[in-house]
A and B are shown apart, each in its own frame.
Chain A
């Protein structure tokens, strides 16, 4: 089964503020993409819009998931169909244990009928295996969802959820920030293992600020988002170059070129030079 996520000219806003301004991106089975870009460029917004957070309004554009209109689906539908996001800022649910939450979620993803969850024994076996693989403290299963978790614990719990839900297309939003090098390695190894276990079928979009995690999760494509658009794409080397010139470098180029161009259009790049295309 091969999956495909096609984002076409996506515009979205939050409370009257337009944030996504024509994002285009395709993530297919087996591909590993990195999405980089300065703070506030709209990466998280893109992730939330893809998952259907009602807080964000789509203004125009289209997103197809396996040829279906993703934007017409409820978030739970999207998730059951195999889309997953490891959130940058996961919310906590007081009073609900990770174990009961995960058992319900895994049962939903696997198509169990309402009121018939995966058996407790089966779930526990599965959860224990994943907890061990990702070197997460098993005690996490007895804790309330994200309640009182440190930043790092939250990020790792998101990856634990990803491992249990076995997505077709997974988006990881800054999973690496807030993790130390060892933790980044563990998380990356976990993601690589999921990728292998899927028969290299899983599609991954790694949203990150720093190229660090990309040393361990090797991207096939790297994209840079700036002001709600993808302004340049390239191979894995682009991440390194970005690291050297920095986002300020891009910003300077972008602004200089943008100033030369009248009117609004799509920003394109050729090599390391950015320009605005009419």
Chain B
């Protein structure tokens, strides 16, 4: 089929490319990173000494660690030209009425209040580096469920935070985890007591709104034995011309028999470096599920991982990535089988178009003694034109014989037969292409809450606009 309009993405059409003036900020740190900046952040947040010490220690680790040389090209990030902390308004909104007008306007445009009316139970919305709005359904509070921004979590539940913070992702893990540990701000803190099932997803919306503005949110989720929670984050970002860095850390502890699902749909603007460390530990018979949708950004390096530490632990990682012109999506997943009878499944779908690069980078590690464990990895790549590429880097380290590990990988192009079939029913070429792509990611989108799957399909539709190969 002929290439009709190879230029797919028009940044001007970017749906969320609006932004509020940055004037109303209460505080903005100076550009660049130093001991002074880190101390200032800690001071402004009135943090306990241990956290200040932790930040400073992390800064030292960050300074010593070299930039990663694998994955994507992170060498272009100008770490000295970033504001490491920005606080838009004072105070914390508990109810919708408390939320400042310009922030409400932003939320309005993202459709958040409607979503809230319909089914949102709690909203943790991050506007700039600070969470300004937070609400939590009363019954959960009664059940002891905590859903706060990380700063409030540290203030209100210092013991729990101190016990778990940095235990899953220590600053020594990688350069960007160290950076986050030094300058983190915002993110979510979720605590679900033993046996409590949170039936409605907890949702957080993230948004970067200032040029050269770093976002270093930090999320910690603790699910006590037998608990269940589904945490959902959706990210949209306005379009800017200069590069922006998003470097988050997510730590999840899933105790015996508990189940946590963490869903992300990210749509960063095309100049954002998205370098995220997401990791969970799963104990006996616990289940951890990562559902990860990566659109937007200039470079995404994100490998959600699950350490299965005790027998019966299960991991599921579903990811979808879309890379258009100038984009490099390097998503993947890691499953670590460190106990007998653990099970994991990884499904990765990547789409590349207009010269974009998308793929899968994964690790399956089975420790000696992890008898009877099972792991299935499936990665499918769909390449929409000849300029685009897909890379698959599966690493398997299997040090136990009594295991079942399968790996399946496919790379395909949209078939002319399928396009012709859809077109023979009156569907135009663009829409036909869209449908095939939506079908390709359906195994992931069906796992999303309804509005998110609609959103994902819509975002992919925008990315696909005018693209036919």
Q: Which residues of A contact B (CB under 8 A)?
A: 51-55, 74-76, 78-80, 85, 87, 90-91, 93-96, 100-101, 104-105, 108-109, 114, 144, 161, 165
Contact = CB atoms under 8 A, between A and B. Distances in A.
Contacts of B418: 91, 93
B409 interface: no
B417 interface: yes
B426 A79 contact: yes
Nearest to A80: B426
Contacts of A90: 421
7 nearest CB pairs, A to B: A95-B439, A95-B442, A108-B426, A79-B426, A105-B425, A96-B439, A75-B423
B427 A108 contact: yes
B441 A95 contact: yes
Q: Which of A52, A74, A76, A78 has the most CB of B within 10 A?
A: A76
Contacts of B425: 76, 79, 101, 105, 108-109, 161, 165
Given A54-B1, A55-B416, A93 B421 contact: yes
B438 A95 contact: yes
Contacts of A96: 435-436, 438-439, 442
Contacts of A165: 425-426
A165 B427 CA distance: 12
Given A75-B420, A105-B427, A109-B426, 19 more contacts: A51-B420, A51-B424, A55-B417, A75-B424, A76-B425, A76-B432, A87-B421, A87-B424, A93-B421, A93-B422, A95-B443, A96-B438, A96-B442, A101-B435, A105-B422, A108-B431, A114-B428, A144-B439, A165-B425
B174 interface: no
B429 interface: yes
Contact of B427 (A85, A94, A104): A104
Contacts, number: 85
Q: Which of B416, B424, B427, B438 has the most CB of A within 10 A?
A: B424
Given A54-B1, A55-B416, A101 B438 contact: no
Interface residues of B, number: 25
Contacts of A101: 422, 425, 427, 435
Contacts of A108: 425-428, 431
A54 B443 CA distance: 30
Contacts of B416: 54-55
A52 B436 CA distance: 19
Nearest to B461: A115
A232 B337 CA distance: 71
Interface string B427-469: 1110110011011111100000000000000000000000000
Contact of A76 (B423, B436, B438, B443): B423
Interface in B35-82: none
Contact of B420 (A53, A94, A105, A161): A53
A91 B439 CA distance: 14
A76 B428 contact: yes
Contacts of A87: 421, 424
B439 A104 contact: no
A105 B423 CA distance: 9
A93 B424 contact: no
Nearest to B415: A91
Contact of B426 (A94, A100, A105, A144): A105
A91 to B, nearest CB: 5
Nearest to B430: A114
A104 B425 CA distance: 9
Interface string B394-428: 00000000000000000000011110111111111
Contacts of B422: 93, 101, 105
A30 B62 CA distance: 79
A160 B432 CA distance: 20
A271 to B, nearest CB: 38
Contacts of B428: 76, 108, 114
Contacts of B427: 76, 101, 104-105, 108
Nearest to B436: A93
A54 B436 contact: no
B423 A74 contact: yes
Contact of B424 (A85, A104, A114): A85
A165 B415 CA distance: 24
B420 A54 contact: yes
Nearest to B432: A76
B293 to A, nearest CB: 15
A192 B420 CA distance: 27
Nearest to A78: B424
21 contacts: A52-B424, A53-B420, A54-B420, A55-B417, A74-B423, A74-B429, A76-B424, A76-B427, A76-B429, A80-B426, A87-B421, A93-B418, A94-B439, A94-B440, A95-B439, A96-B439, A101-B427, A104-B427, A105-B425, A108-B425, A161-B425
A163 to B, nearest CB: 13
Interface in B129-174: none
A271 B47 CA distance: 101
A169 to B, nearest CB: 13
B361 to A, nearest CB: 24
Contacts of B426: 76, 79-80, 105, 108-109, 165
Contacts of A109: 425-426
A156 to B, nearest CB: 16
B424 A95 contact: no
A52 B429 CA distance: 13
B424 A91 contact: no
A174 B441 CA distance: 33
A91 B429 contact: no
A63 to B, nearest CB: 15
B423 A79 contact: yes
A101 B425 CA distance: 9
Nearest to A48: B420
A201 B1 CA distance: 34
Q: Which of A51, A79, A90, A96 has the most CB of B within 10 A?
A: A96
A74 B424 CA distance: 9
A204 to B, nearest CB: 17
A96 B415 CA distance: 15
B430 to A, nearest CB: 9
B431 A104 contact: yes
A117 to B, nearest CB: 10
A26 to B, nearest CB: 22
Nearest to A81: B426
